[in-house]
Amino acid sequence: MENWSLVSICVLFGLTARWAVSLNSYSGAGKPPMFGDYEAQRHWQEVTYNLPVHEWYFNTTDNNLNYWGLDYPPLTAYHSLLCAHVAKLINPDWVELHASRGHESYGHKLFMRATVLVADLLIYIPAVVLYSFYLSEGSNKKKVCTVLCILLYPGLILIDYGHFQYNSISLGLALWGVVVLGLGWDVLGSLAFVLSLNYKQMELYHSLPFFCYLLGKCFKQGLAGRGLFLLVKIAVTVLVTFALCWLPFLSDPGQILQVVHRLFPVGRGLFEDKVANTWCSLNVLIKIKTILSTDTQLYFSLTTTLLAILPSSIKLLMKPTLWQFKLALVNSSLAFFLFSFQVHEKSILLPAFMLPLFLKDGLLVPYVVTSLAFLFFSIYLLSAFEHCSEDKLRLGPYRRLLICMPRMDLGRVTKWKFYFSITAMAGLSFMSVALAPPDQLPDLFPLLVSVFSYLHFLGLLLYFNIVQIAEPLQSVRKNQKKSN
């Protein structure tokens, strides 16, 4: 079958899965007074439509920042404004100032879900298709399988269509950035990424790799000539895009400060709830949150984050290839997630870990279904197990590290570890749902899930870092297929 029909079928299938999930409950459904993320998005539409721009991020009589105040960069606000205009055409009640608070109805739910779907369709899905076809290796069939697996990624589906957020826009724009950079158009790539950054500040997790990759490319082309020219072009693009996005706020420095203050709430503490990062897990053993003051926590986490991300960035700077870039993206986001300040679970977008969140939202069945589907498809279509040999997993460096265990087939070890992890995750999921925790430890299951996931993420961070750093600086002639 031709590619276009197979890809269309995958896309249609992904869309069906998305809409099917979206018919379920959303975050904060029927839970006054605060409701949840769904209400937050609706509230932002109300605020951006009814109030003038310079009041959006400020605490005024009309805009109570304690009730879901705007805490994403301006592009989210513009997007909400656009949606609000559409909402006004369909049913003005949805965005009435003050009166529409906590508004929940069948029609409104369809409208909100539809906005997510439209955004996804316009931004994220084309990026995925282009990425699979231009930037991944393998036969055509392999590429189609990649499209299918990426589109079925449960984390994104469940968060965006279940819990309710617009991650697909920021992720999509970042992915566009990657695709365009891969095609060699550096300026456009940086433009796309800046837009993505201006949609959600969470994209800062990916900013260092972009920065190092582009800088490395400039260095490679020689700072005396074309490299400098490229650097200037990129710098100008970035600055101009930022300026355009923040245009309404540039008139007053107070505005800019307030927006930044909203985007980075440093007053809040090292972590909230149960997050699978270092601080939360460490808190089980040593109560860091209470020992250190907020400022110390801030500096401590900043330093560790930078340290964690340093090796990968330097390597990328020295060898700015696409493969290194992809690895660096993974490493950087993992490092940020594990070590930074005020991290929310959603930042990792990994499903098994967000189980407690989904249970709260009443999304258990979609979670089970989509995770199983994704697991099945990834394993079957991407032949994950076939490629579990040592060579494919690039476990060479590990070999060198673990010289004490020369006889083990690390490929098999990985496979068994995978089985074990899956079983453990299934077990934890089941227990979280079916059993009640003992009275002395009411948070037992979320904690277990987060610590378990944390160990996995730490392991992944180490693995990817080693893989990235161990790659030789000059690509060897023999290994052509990895040398992109």
Partner 1 sequence: LASVSLITALAVHCVVLLTMTVFSGYFSHSTDFEVHRNWLAITHSLPVSKWYHENTSEWTLDYPPLFAWFEYSLSHVAQHFDKEMLVVQNLIYTSPATILFQRLSVIVTDIVFIYAVKECCRSVREEKGSKDLLGHPFFILAALLLWNFGLLIVDHIHFQYNGFLFGILLLSVARHLQGRHLEGALLFTVLLNLKHIYLYIAPAYGIFLLRSYCFTKDNTDGSVRWSSFSPVRLVALGSIVISVGALSFGPFIAMGQLPQVLSRLFPFKRGLCHAYWAPNVWALYNMVDKALSVLGVRLKLLDVAKLPKASMTGGLVQEFQHSILPSVSPSITLICTLLSIMPAVLSIWCRPRGARGFLRCLVVCALGSFMFGWHVHEKAILMAILPFSILAVESREDAGIFLMLTTTGHYSLFPLLFTAAELPIKVLLMLLFTLYSFTSLKKLFRGSLLNPLETTYLLGLVAVEILCEVVYPLSPWQHTLPFVPLLVTSVYCSLGVSYSFIRLYVSLLRQHGTDKHKQL
What tokens were used for 70?
Answer: 């705007």
The least distance separating partner 1 from the CB of residue 12, rounded to whole angstroms, comes to 5
Q: CB-wise, 118 or 244, nearer to partner 1?
A: 118
For residues 67 and 79, give the distance between their C-alpha atoms in angstroms, rounded to a whole number: 20
Q: CB-wise, 31 or 268, nearer to partner 1?
A: 31
The least distance separating partner 1 from the CB of residue 121, rounded to whole angstroms, comes to 11
Instruction: Tell me the HSE value of 359 on the side-chain side, using a 13 A CA sphere.
Output: 15
The least distance separating partner 1 from the CB of residue 147, rounded to whole angstroms, comes to 15
Q: CB-wise, 53 or 369, nearer to partner 1?
A: 369
Q: CB-wise, 14 or 216, nearer to partner 1?
A: 14
Q: CB-wise, 167 or 370, nearer to partner 1?
A: 370
Q: CB-wise, 310 or 365, nearer to partner 1?
A: 365
Q: Give the list of residues 6+ apart from residue 283 with CB closer than 8 angstroms, or none.
A: 271, 289
The least distance separating partner 1 from the CB of residue 43, rounded to whole angstroms, comes to 23
The least distance separating partner 1 from the CB of residue 370, rounded to whole angstroms, comes to 8
The least distance separating partner 1 from the CB of residue 365, rounded to whole angstroms, comes to 6
Residues that bind partner 1 (CB under 8 A): 1-2, 5-6, 8-9, 12-13, 15-17, 19-21, 23-24, 106-107, 110, 117, 365-366, 369-370, 372-373, 376-377, 380
Q: CB-wise, 158 or 215, nearer to partner 1?
A: 158
For residues 484 and 212, give the distance between their C-alpha atoms in angstroms, rounded to a whole number: 17
